[in-house]
Structure 1
Amino acid sequence: MDARFLGITELTEVPSVAVVIDVMRAYTVAAWAFGRGAEKIVLAESLDEVRALKAVHPDWVALKDGPPAEGFDAVNSPGLLRSADLGGRTVVQKTTAGTVGALAVKDASLVLCAGFVVAEATARVLRRRECDAVTFVVTGEDGRAEEDLACAQYIARRAAGEEVDAADHLRRAMESRAASELTEGVREGAHPDDVALCVELDRFPFAMVAAPDDSLMVLRPYAVPR
Structure 2
Amino acid sequence: MDARFAGIAELAEAPSVAVVVDVMRAFTVAAHAFAQGAERIVLAESLDDALVLKGRHPDWVALKDGPPAPGFDAVNSPALLRSADLAGRTVVQKTTAGTVGALAVKEASLVLCASFVVAEATARLLRTRGCGAVTFVVTGEGGRAEEDLSCAQYIARRATGAAADASGFLRRAAGSRAAAELAQGVREGSHPDDVALCLELDRFPFAMVAAWEDSLMALRPCAVPSPADGDSI
- Per the TM superposition, whether the score is higher than 0.5 is yes
Residue of structure 2 equivalent to 1:65? 65
Residue of structure 2 equivalent to 1:119? 119
CA offsets 1:116-170 (integer angstroms, 9 cap, x no match): 0000000000001111000000000000000000000000000011100000000
Distance 1:94 1:129 in 2: 29
TM superposition score normalised by structure 1: 0.99
User: Following TM superposition, by how much is the alpha carbon of 1:83 offset from its aligned partner in structure 2, in angstroms?
Assistant: 2.4
User: Following TM superposition, by how much is the alpha carbon of 1:14 offset from its aligned partner in structure 2, in angstroms?
Assistant: 1.0
**1:152 paired to 2:152:** yes
Residue of structure 2 equivalent to 1:74? 74
CA offsets 1:20-75 (integer angstroms, 9 cap, x no match): 00000000000000000000000000000011001100000000000011110000
Residue of structure 2 equivalent to 1:215? 215
Distance 2:33 2:213 in 1: 19
Residue of structure 2 equivalent to 1:186? 186
> After the TM superposition, which segments of 4 or more aligned residues of structure 1 sit over 3 Å from their partners?
none
AA of the residue aligned to 1:48: D
- Identity of counterpart residues, as a percentage? 80
Distance 1:46 1:14 in 2: 20
| 3-state secondary structure, aligned to 2:210 | strand
Residue of structure 2 equivalent to 1:110? 110
| 3-state secondary structure, aligned to 1:5 | strand
CA offsets 1:103-128 (integer angstroms, 9 cap, x no match): 00000000000000000000000001
| 3-state secondary structure, aligned to 2:152 | helix
CA offsets 1:195-217 (integer angstroms, 9 cap, x no match): 00000000000000000112100
| 3-state secondary structure, aligned to 2:5 | strand
Distance 1:123 1:167 in 2: 17
Residue of structure 2 equivalent to 1:166? 166
Distance 1:99 1:14 in 2: 15
Distance 1:62 1:83 in 2: 15
TM superposition score normalised by structure 2: 0.96
Residue of structure 2 equivalent to 1:87? 87
Structure 1: stretches of 5+ with no match in the other structure: none
Aligned-CA RMSD value: 0.4
